[in-house]
Amino acid sequence: MKIGELARESGLAPSRIRYYERQGLIGAIDRGLNGYRQYARGTRQLLEMIVVAQQAGFSLDEIRNLLPPHDQADRGRDKLLGALNRKVVDIETLQQRLSATRAGLKAVIARIEALPPGGDCFENAEDVLASMREQSKAG
């Protein structure tokens, strides 16, 4: 599979795929006699994992450390499992942060709705935000 096809299938620009390669995210790629990159079937899934992780707020640098080494297959399996499990924990952390944020926002909204118009919103939001901070420490 050449880069153009992989690009169409994954929805990523070829330049982006080459960029990820330069950044060490997808390892060394097989080359045909002409020098063209030849991708294995798994690469599309790998790219998707990268994109998913990015959407969850990970930098490419973090993702590189999260992904298994591209060479050794079996030592990679254990590292992959460890990385995936840590990633789940990271996502759970993020979820808790979002829950706290959402709860805080809802509290702020309730306060503002209960107020007579004309007051200083931020003045009244102070303790709400304080409790948000507490909550996020506890979470």
Partner DNA sequence: CCTAAGATTAAAGTTAACTTTAAGGTCAAG
Partner DNA sequence: CTTGACCTTAAAGTTAACTTTAATCTTAGG
Nearer to a second copy, 1 or 129 (CB): 129
Q: 96 CB contacts (<8 Å, ≥6 apart)?
A: 136, 139
The three-class DSSP label of residue 121 is helix
Cα–Cα dist 66/104, whole Å:
31
> Minimum CB separation from a second copy for residue 110, in Å?
10
Other C-beta atoms closer than 10 Å to the C-beta of 68 total 19
Binding residues (CB under 8 A) for a second copy: these are: 40-43, 45-46, 48-49, 52, 55-57, 73-74, 76-77, 80-81, 84-85, 87-88, 91-92, 94-95, 97-99, 101-102, 104-106, 108-109, 112-113, 117-118, 120-123, 125-126, 129, 132
